[in-house]
Amino acid sequence: MVFYIEGLQFPATHEGSTIAGAKGAATVMKIITFLSSLLSPLYTGIVCPSFTQILKLYAWEEAFERLVTKLRNSELRQLLFGSISWAIVEANWTLAPFVVLLATFSSYIARLRPEVYINGTSTIDNIEGLLTPEKIFVSLSLFNLLRVPLTNLPYIISLVIMVCH
């Protein structure tokens, strides 16, 4: 189960990911830096109107607007991909306990002989190893006890990796 869940998350979160990893953040920062360097003369043009006058004089307003719009759209696209990938990661971590419970109870029921049960319920009384309400509630409470440490595990691992580097 862990390998399945990690396999779903790996493309979005690994170090070299261009979506939400370090490369994605670096791409967004490059775009923001370039945009701010492009727009800073325009902002200071209020005080020193030479840049604004040059833009208007040579009719470069539309070309400049297209350039800024193109850069802004690429920044927004990168931020959207990052948000979507993190939403997938969070959905995986939220659904993981339920998937683990489903897999655990399914494998527990599947180990019984098919002729002994129908749809997970017994047709014969007092079968050894049958899934009973007591076993279900004990399993649920144990899984809930494990939920918090396993939820914090990725954060702890990333902190340990940051400390080691």
DSSP state of 130: -
Question: Any idea where the domains of the chain sit in the sequence?
Answer: 2-164
Tokens representing 43?
């902002």
CB 23 within 8 A of CB 17: yes
150-162 pLDDT, tens digit each: 778 878 887 888 8
- Start-end of H helices in the chain: 2-13, 22-44, 50-57, 61-110, 133-164
CB 130 within 8 A of CB 112: yes
Residue 51 Cα to chain centre, angstroms = 42
45-67 pLDDT, tens digit each: 555 556 666 666 566 677 777 88
CB 97 within 8 A of CB 151: no
Q: Dihedral (C-alpha) 110, 114, 116, 122: value to the nearest 10 degrees?
A: 50
80-105 pLDDT, tens digit each: 888 888 888 888 878 888 888 888 88
CA-closest candidate to residue 97, choices 138, 144, 55 = 144
